[in-house]
């Protein structure tokens, strides 16, 4: 029984590959989670208040583009434009 090496054969190579894949996936998952929770560093800052952005002209521009492409009809365009131009209520 001197030739018997414990039954590992080439299994050590497979275990090494699996270990590298496991740790790579674990580290990538932690990095992705940190990026998701941190908001990402590469994010560009938003526009200053009063300029095109979440409110104001940008929403109207998007609505006009949808109307120009034919995604919405004139009645819906006017209805949504009226809603956008209404003063916002704070609750």
- Token digits for 17? 């590959």
Residues 46-89: tens digit of each pLDDT: 555 555 445 556 888 999 999 999 999 999 999 999 988 888 77
**Predicted TM-score (pTM) of this structure:** 0.38
pLDDT at 4: 59
- Locate the domains of the chain by residue range: 9-39, 55-91
Q: Give the helix/strand (H/E) hosting 27.
A: helix 11-38
- Token digits for 69? 């492409």
Cα torsion through 47, 53, 55, 58, rounded to 10 = 150
């Amino acid at each position: 029984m001197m030739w018997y090496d414990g039954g590992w054969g080439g299994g050590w190579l497979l275990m090494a590959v699996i270990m590298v894949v496991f740790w790579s996936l674990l580290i990538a998952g932690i990095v992705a989670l940190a990026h998701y929770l941190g908001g990402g560093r590469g994010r560009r800052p938003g526009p200053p208040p009063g300029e095109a952005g979440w409110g104001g002209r940008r929403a109207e521009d998007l609505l006009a583009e949808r109307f120009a492409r034919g995604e919405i009809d004139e009645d819906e365009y006017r209805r949504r434009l009226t809603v956008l131009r209404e003063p916002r209520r704070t609750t």
